């Protein structure tokens, strides 16, 4: 097995005393490289917390997260940021585009932050794939929800990270756009050989995944 | 109203960082509004109090006044208070003289006399003496004892036969110098006798008084007005000018520059301006959020008045907390500032020593209730003015507009669907793109800060041009100046009269040689002087024409700013150069006008002299003589020994041995006075040190008020973009890159402010320097660019901006990345 992510005994709690909530409770998990993994579960089951811990956006109380055999939480501060930049791309439900930047600038932002040379053809190729070539100079405020999410997908793909973490990327979209976005995502993952880990509530989307992980009360209860 | 109040209080809590910044601006504004007039008033009042302690407090004394005139004067409108003195007899004893004089209570008070014990004499045989008097009489006595005194009454201008009379001592005069006069031969002591004694010994028609008076200072507030009123009194009652003695020492020590109050008012206006623009711009940045919020309230039924009151109350609550804080800190600082001021001055003269004692003993209060009231009112007014625009915005907006309100920048942006993308995005470009989208905020912040910055640079330019060495060099030519003690109306010293001096002038060639022989003296120039009355447009006044020696003729000619005159012309005596200062008093004098000079010599002869040129000279060069010509020119038109001033040049600016040697030589004559470069240097150094300290402290606080703008704008921008910044960090922006981006943004404010402040301030500073130079402020002559101030302002702004960026970077880091990404305004 070629695992890209390995989670060992991961714990994350919120609150204290009587209000203590174990969002991730001694979770162990392995995710295969190049596959589309969907994480499903009820609201408050801890799936988003798990995704954030996988992406290094939050720090666990205990346990380890290995990305390509590197313990991510061994890293701190700017090293962690650089690692994240290198290895992980994010797609959020509410897009999180930078409002003052154009579509092009939003897409190339991870490369700019990594101080990498921008290959215009590659960026144009991605924009072309997601159907945003004509909108490259548009500002986010003028885009529809679907266009914004496409832009966010392009941004996640542009630096060719090994893993793409998507937190309900179609949650704010209508069903038609949802399918279009999923189609783009799957296609891109296939074309660029990336690992997609996605949280979703949607059974239909979960069925598109290669692997489905069910989370309940912070624990992995099923993997299929 | 209750609900309005509650919402206003909730808003203070919700917008606590913004209100805290406004609070700091209000606090600093109040502090300055309190300190500036308080320190100004303290300076004046302590100076007045010390003057009243040191000098007799009458404005003038009228001599040879008889009883009838006393009656007329006592009812004269415009005389505030008056007192009398009359000299009855003289006592000659052991090489000392004692004047038996009568003084009424007011005269005693106006002469600043005090009794160390006892009471003033009332009966004919009562007397008040001093220890000096008893010592001169060779007697010992205490209050209540009887002493016998031999005296000569003054009859018909001559002393009568000696009489002897026993006197009962009713009190002792307090005299600070009495201990020093114990062994002083030819000392003159006063002893006070009663009115009964005076009237018994001198017939009423022979009694002559000295009438001490103070004019009404409510009607005549300036020194010049007081002097004019005194002369008007003399003229209306036909009192000879020779019998009017103005108490110049007192009036000069009490002199308040008439521009003092307007200057304080202007400074307060500047403070209010800085406060208003700061409060306004702090409110303005982020007003869209506030308007949206007020719009929701309006949609729920709040009236315009209620919305206005909410904004007003919020501002006034903040002011209600920070204005008292400013007053408390101001009160605590006042004494410290005053003490520091005296430390800087160094207690070098009796005036300063007296002020220090008065302040330390609490006899002079440093705190004034009207100033507290004024500071509070003006501070509230400042806040009210600062809130004017936000109140207007809130009250004008309609319900739907309010909810949709996004500020002008956003409105514009909405209409703009796209712009040309940058091919690459760097940290620098991110900052640039953000600032380009916030043009109005950036403009308001930079403009508000630059207004103060320009003011700082202009003041710094003037202060940097004021250099104690240069000011001293402008005040005195060479290192030592030996002048004559000339007095025209001192009957005690007729030898000081100019027409007596020119018959036996102590500034001789021998004296010059003697001084030249001192080791370290390199040269001496002799300037001639000729005193004359000049009839200028029916205004007759006394002036002195200066005869400039050959070795300084080049400097004289170089100083010409209008007209043309040659070296040879100036040696004839029929043309002169007039200093431009004369134009201040007589703006109608023109080049080519002929003035009639009536010289104060034996013959009082008149000469017509044409103003051939107008020049601009240092007081060190012209010695305050505003008509100048060559020495031979002056000799041609004015007879006598005209040597008026020796300017002495030495190898070193200051050498105590040289000074002591000169003092020893000139000490042989009572008519010679010495001024040194060192004295001038010390005076200027102390004055400039105080001015610099006060000015920079003021500018520093003013600068801090305006820096609140930048702090607010940057905090606001970070606050609004917490989510955006979190997202950038999720995409791989390092903490270093985040701080770098904030530094870049801050740098733009700093650079904008510096370019406008340093550029605009430098451009504006030069004409202001020229104006101050023209007005003679600080004796400045040479322009010096304020490099130190420019560097200091730049470094301080950069440091604040860097600290702010790092601090904000840490503030952002306080929340976890996921908290920031989830953060919703």
Residue B259 has pLDDT above 70, yes or no: no
Inter-chain touch A55–B730, beta carbons under 8 Å: yes
Task: Please classify residue B246 by burial: count the beta carbons closer than 10 Å to its beta carbon, then call 0-12 exposed, 13-18 middle and 19+ buried.
Answer: middle
* Nearest Cα residue in chain A from B423: A105
Within a 13 Å sphere around the CA of B96, how many CA atoms are in the beta-carbon half?
21
End-to-end CA distance of chain A: 15
Q: Are A137 and A104 in contact (CB under 8 A)?
A: yes
Distances (CA, A) of B256 to B141, B249, B692, B694, B794: 45, 14, 21, 19, 37
pLDDT band at residue B346 using 50, 70 and 90 as cut-offs? low
Q: What is the mean pLDDT of residues A156-168?
A: 87
Which of A81-90, B323-332, B809-818 ranks highest by mean pLDDT? B323-332
Q: Are B440 and B413 in contact (CB under 8 A)?
A: no
Residue found under tokens 């009652």: B237
Residue B257 has pLDDT above 80, yes or no: no
Inter-chain touch A108–B417, beta carbons under 8 Å: no
Residue B414 has pLDDT above 70, yes or no: no
| Residue in B413, B723, B731 nearest the CB of A113 | B731
Instruction: Give the list of residues 6+ apart from residue A202 with CB closer than 8 angstroms, or none.
Output: A170, A178
Strand partners, A164: A89, A196
Name chain B contacts of A113, Cβ cutoff 8 Å. 425, 427, 728, 731-734, 737
Q: Are B462 and B778 in contact (CB under 8 A)?
A: yes
Q: What is the mean pLDDT of residues B633-662?
A: 89
Distances (CA, A) of B432 to A43, B76, B220, B226, B383: 41, 77, 62, 64, 33
Instruction: Give the list of residues 6+ apart from residue B236 with CB closer than 8 angstroms, or none.
Output: none
Tell me what percent of the residues of chain B surpass a pLDDT of 70. 91
Q: Residue B353: which H helix or E strand, with range?
A: helix B350-360
Lowest-pLDDT range of A107-116, B112-121, B402-411, B705-714 = B402-411
Instruction: Give the list of residues 6+ apart from residue A113 with CB closer than 8 angstroms, or none.
Output: A85, B425, B427, B728, B731, B732, B733, B734, B737
CB atoms within 10 A of CB B581: 16
Higher local confidence (pLDDT), B338 or A11? A11
Residue B615 has pLDDT above 50, yes or no: yes
Residue B458 has pLDDT above 80, yes or no: yes
Render A82-142 in DSSP notation, one character per residue.
Answer: HHHHHHEEEE-TT----TTS-HHHHHHHHHHHTTPPP-HHHHHHHHHHTT-GGGTTB-GGG
Closest alpha carbon to B678 in B648, B705, B721: B648
Distances (CA, A) of A103 to A177, B355, B699, B723, B815: 18, 73, 47, 18, 28
Q: What is the mean pLDDT of residues A114-143?
A: 87
pLDDT given at position B113: 84
Residue B97 has pLDDT above 80, yes or no: yes
| Residue in B422, B730, B736 nearest the CB of A57 | B730
pLDDT band at residue B177 using 50, 70 and 90 as cut-offs? very low
Residue found under tokens 């290959």: A119
The pairing of strands B560-563 and B209-215 is unpaired
pLDDT band at residue B246 using 50, 70 and 90 as cut-offs? confident
All domains of chain A in start order, with CATH:
3-223 (3.40.50.300)
User: Which tens digits make up the pLDDT trace of B21-48?
Assistant: 888 888 988 888 898 888 888 888 887 7
Task: Please classify residue B423 by burial: count the beta carbons closer than 10 Å to its beta carbon, then call 0-12 exposed, 13-18 middle and 19+ buried.
Answer: exposed
| Residue in B416, B732, B817 nearest the CB of A85 | B732
Instruction: Give the list of residues 6+ apart from residue B604 with CB closer than 8 angstroms, or none.
Output: B598
Measure the CA–CA gap between B154 and B88, rounded to whole angstroms: 6
User: Which tens digits make up the pLDDT trace of B198-221?
Assistant: 999 888 888 889 999 998 877 766
Higher local confidence (pLDDT), A18 or B403? A18
Measure the CA–CA gap between B775 and B581, rounded to whole angstroms: 9
Instruction: Give the list of residues 6+ apart from residue B255 with CB closer than 8 angstroms, or none.
Output: B223
Lowest-pLDDT range of A50-64, B136-150, B493-507, B741-755 = B493-507
Measure the CA–CA gap between A147 and B348, rounded to whole angstroms: 81
Average pLDDT of chain B? Answer: 83
Backbone angles phi, psi at A41, to 5 degrees: 160, 165
Residue B553 has pLDDT above 70, yes or no: yes
Cα B721 off chain centre by: 49
Distances (CA, A) of B760 to B4, B266, B540, B774, B790: 44, 21, 47, 22, 12
Answering whether pTM is above 0.90, one says no
Lowest-pLDDT range of A173-187, B106-120, B227-241, B250-264 = B250-264
Q: Which residues of B224-242 are buried (b: 16+ CB within 10 A; e: fewer)?
A: eebbebbeebbeeeebeee
Which of A81-85, B167-171, B384-388 ranks highest by mean pLDDT? B167-171
User: Which tens digits make up the pLDDT trace of B636-649?
Assistant: 888 888 888 999 99
Higher local confidence (pLDDT), B399 or A83? A83
* Nearest Cα residue in chain B from A50: B818
CA dihedral sign of residues B328, B332, B337, B342: positive
Q: What is the mean pLDDT of residues B757-774?
A: 88
Distances (CA, A) of B773 to A139, B80, B378, B463, B677: 57, 40, 33, 12, 21
Mutate to test the interface with A, among B404, B423, B425 (most CBs of A within 10 A): B425
The two tokens of residue B103 are 């003084």
pLDDT given at position B396: 74
Inter-chain touch B413–A98, beta carbons under 8 Å: no
Q: Are B213 and B58 in contact (CB under 8 A)?
A: yes
pLDDT given at position B104: 92
pLDDT given at position B115: 87
Instruction: Give the list of residues 6+ apart from residue B491 with CB closer than 8 angstroms, or none.
Output: none
Closest alpha carbon to B617 in B688, B546, B519: B546
Within a 13 Å sphere around the CA of A45, how many CA atoms are in the beta-carbon half?
18
CA dihedral sign of residues B644, B650, B654, B656: negative
Inter-chain touch B816–A81, beta carbons under 8 Å: no
pLDDT band at residue B489 using 50, 70 and 90 as cut-offs? low
The C-alpha of B281 sits at a distance from chain A's nearest C-alpha, in angstroms, of: 23
Measure the CA–CA gap between A113 and B392, rounded to whole angstroms: 43
Q: Are B226 and B59 in contact (CB under 8 A)?
A: yes
Residue B602 has pLDDT above 70, yes or no: no
pLDDT band at residue A149 using 50, 70 and 90 as cut-offs? confident
pLDDT given at position B195: 92
Mutate to test the interface with B, among A48, A52, A78, A113 (most CBs of B within 10 A): A113
Instruction: Give the list of residues 6+ apart from residue B661 with CB closer than 8 angstroms, or none.
Output: B518, B519
Lowest-pLDDT range of A88-92, A174-178, B213-217 = A174-178
Residue B165 has pLDDT above 80, yes or no: yes
Tell me what percent of the residues of chain A surpass a pLDDT of 90. 21
Q: What is the mean pLDDT of residues B334-356?
A: 74
The C-alpha of A16 sits at a distance from chain B's nearest C-alpha, in angstroms, of: 18
Residue B179 has pLDDT above 50, yes or no: no
pLDDT given at position B183: 45
The two tokens of residue B58 are 């009458």
Name chain A contacts of B439, Cβ cutoff 8 Å. none
* Nearest Cα residue in chain B from A118: B424
User: Which tens digits make up the pLDDT trace of B492-524?
Assistant: 567 777 778 888 888 888 999 999 999 999 999
Crossing angle between the packed helical segments B350-360 and B16-54, to the nearest 10 degrees: 120
Q: Are B684 and B691 in contact (CB under 8 A)?
A: no
Inter-chain touch B416–A139, beta carbons under 8 Å: yes
Measure the CA–CA gap between B656 and B37, rounded to whole angstroms: 41
Residue B364 has pLDDT above 60, yes or no: yes
Residue B742 has pLDDT above 70, yes or no: yes
Inter-chain touch B426–A115, beta carbons under 8 Å: yes
Q: What is the mean pLDDT of residues B563-590?
A: 88
Name chain B contacts of A105, Cβ cutoff 8 Å. 421-422, 425, 433
| Residue in A77, A96, A114 nearest the CB of B732 | A114
Q: What is the mean pLDDT of residues A139-155?
A: 88
pLDDT given at position B554: 93
Distances (CA, A) of B378 to B31, B275, B332, B454, B717: 11, 11, 20, 24, 31
């Amino acid at each position: 097995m070629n695992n890209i992510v390995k989670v060992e005994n991961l714990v994350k709690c919120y609150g204290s005393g009587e209000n203590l909530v174990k969002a991730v409770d001694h979770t162990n998990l392995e995710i295969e490289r190049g596959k589309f993994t969907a994480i499903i579960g009820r609201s408050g089951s801890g799936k988003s917390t798990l995704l954030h811990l996988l992406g290094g956006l939050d720090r666990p109380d205990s346990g380890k997260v290995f990305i390509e055999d590197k313990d991510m939480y061994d890293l701190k501060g700017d090293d962690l940021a650089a690692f994240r930049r290198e290895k992980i791309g994010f797609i959020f439900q509410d897009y999180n585009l930078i409002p003052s930047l154009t579509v092009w600038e939003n897409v190339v932002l991870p490369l700019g932050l990594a101080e990498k040379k921008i290959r215009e053809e590659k960026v144009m190729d991605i924009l072309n794939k997601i159907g945003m070539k004509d909108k490259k100079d548009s500002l986010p405020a003028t885009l529809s929800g679907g266009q914004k999410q496409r832009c966010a997908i392009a941004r996640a793909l542009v630096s060719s990270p090994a893993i793409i973490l998507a937190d309900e990327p179609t949650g704010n979209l209508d069903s038609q756009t949802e399918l279009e976005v999923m189609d783009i995502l799957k296609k891109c993952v296939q074309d660029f050989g990336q690992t997609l880990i996605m949280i979703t509530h949607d059974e239909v989307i979960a069925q598109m995944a290669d692997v489905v992980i069910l989370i309940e009360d912070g624990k992995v209860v099923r993997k299929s | 109203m209750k609900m309005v109040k509650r919402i206003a209080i909730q808003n203070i809590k919700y917008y606590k960082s913004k209100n805290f910044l406004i609070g700091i601006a209000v606090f600093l504004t109040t502090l300055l509004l309190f300190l500036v007039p308080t320190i100004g008033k303290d300076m004046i009042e302590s100076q007045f109090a010390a003057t009243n302690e040191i000098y007799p407090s009458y404005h003038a004394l009228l001599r040879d006044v008889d009883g009838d005139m006393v009656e007329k004067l006592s009812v004269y409108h415009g005389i505030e208070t008056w007192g009398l003195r009359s000299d009855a007899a003289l006592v000659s004893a052991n090489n000392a003289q004692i004047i038996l004089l009568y003084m009424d209570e007011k005269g005693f008070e106006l002469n600043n006399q005090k009794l160390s014990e006892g009471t003033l004499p009332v009966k004919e045989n009562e007397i008040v003496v001093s220890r000096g008097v008893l010592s001169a009489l060779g007697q010992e006595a205490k209050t209540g004892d009887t002493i016998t005194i031999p005296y000569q009454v003054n009859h018909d201008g001559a002393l009568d036969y000696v009489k002897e009379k026993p006197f009962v001592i009713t009190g002792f005069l307090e005299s600070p110098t009495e201990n020093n006069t114990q062994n002083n031969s030819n000392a003159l002591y006063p002893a006070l006798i009663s009115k009964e004694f005076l009237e018994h010994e001198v017939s009423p028609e022979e009694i002559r008084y000295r009438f001490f008076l103070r004019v009404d200072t409510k009607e005549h507030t300036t020194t010049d007005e007081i002097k004019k009123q005194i002369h008007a009194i003399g003229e209306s009652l036909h009192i000879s000018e020779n019998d009017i003695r103005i108490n110049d020492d007192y009036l000069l020590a009490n002199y308040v520059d008439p521009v003092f109050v307007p200057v304080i008012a202007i400074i307060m206006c500047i403070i209010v301006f800085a406060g208003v623009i700061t409060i306004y711009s702090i409110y303005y940045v982020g007003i869209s959020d506030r308007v949206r919020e007020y719009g929701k309230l309006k949609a729920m039924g709040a009236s315009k008045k209620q919305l206005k009151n909410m904004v007003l109350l919020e501002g006034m609550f903040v002011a209600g907390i920070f204005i008292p804080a400013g007053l408390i800190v101001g009160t605590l600082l006042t004494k410290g500032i005053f003490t520091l001021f005296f430390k800087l001055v160094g207690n070098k003269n009796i005036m300063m020593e007296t002020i220090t004692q008065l302040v330390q003993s609490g006899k002079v209060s440093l705190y004034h209730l009207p100033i507290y009231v004024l500071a509070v009112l003006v501070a509230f007014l400042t806040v009210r003015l600062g809130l004017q625009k936000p109140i207007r915005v809130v009250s004008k907006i309609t319900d739907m507009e309010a909810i949709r309100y996004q500020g002008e920048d956003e409105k514009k942006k909405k209409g703009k669907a796209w712009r040309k993308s940058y091919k690459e995005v760097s940290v620098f470009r991110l900052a640039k793109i953000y600032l380009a989208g916030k043009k109005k905020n950036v403009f308001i912040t930079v403009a508000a800060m630059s207004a103060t910055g320009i003011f700082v640079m202009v003041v710094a330019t003037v202060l940097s041009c004021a250099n104690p060495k240069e000011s001293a060099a402008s005040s005195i030519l060479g290192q030592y100046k030996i002048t004559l003690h000339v007095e025209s109306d001192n009957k005690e010293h007729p030898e000081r009269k100019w027409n007596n001096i020119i018959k036996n002038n102590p500034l001789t060639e021998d004296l010059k040689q003697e001084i030249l022989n001192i080791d370290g003296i390199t040269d001496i120039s002799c300037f001639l002087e000729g005193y004359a009355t000049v009839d200028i447009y029916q205004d007759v006044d006394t002036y002195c024409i200066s005869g400039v020696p050959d070795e300084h003729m080049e400097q004289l000619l170089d100083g010409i700013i209008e007209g043309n005159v040659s070296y040879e012309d100036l040696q004839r005596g029929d043309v002169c150069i007039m200093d431009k200062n004369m134009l201040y008093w007589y703006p109608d004098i023109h080049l080519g006008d002929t003035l009639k000079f009536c010289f104060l010599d034996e013959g009082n002869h008149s000469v017509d002299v044409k103003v051939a040129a107008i020049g601009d000279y240092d007081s060190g060069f012209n010695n305050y003589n505003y008509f100048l010509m060559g020495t031979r020119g002056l000799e041609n038109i004015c007879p006598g020994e005209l040597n008026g001033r020796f300017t002495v040049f030495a190898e070193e600016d200051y050498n105590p041995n040289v000074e002591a040697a000169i003092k020893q030589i000139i000490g042989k004559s009572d008519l010679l006075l010495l001024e040194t470069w060192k004295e001038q240097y010390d005076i200027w150094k102390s004055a400039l040190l105080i001015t610099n300290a006060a000015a920079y402290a003021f500018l520093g606080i003013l600068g801090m008020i305006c820096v609140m703008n930048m702090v607010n704008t940057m905090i606001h921008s970070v606050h609004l973009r917490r989510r955006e910044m979190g997202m950038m960090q999720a995409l791989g922006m390092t903490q270093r890159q985040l701080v770098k981006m904030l530094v870049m943004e801050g740098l733009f404010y700093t650079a904008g402010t510096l370019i406008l402040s340093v550029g605009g301030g430098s451009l504006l500073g030069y004409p202001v320097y020229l104006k101050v130079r023209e007005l003679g402020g600080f004796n400045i002559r040479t322009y010096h660019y304020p490099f130190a101030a420019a560097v200091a302002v730049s470094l301080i702004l950069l440091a604040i901006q860097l600290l702010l960026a790092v601090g904000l970077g840490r503030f952002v880091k306080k929340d976890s990345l996921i908290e920031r990404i989830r953060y919703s305004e």
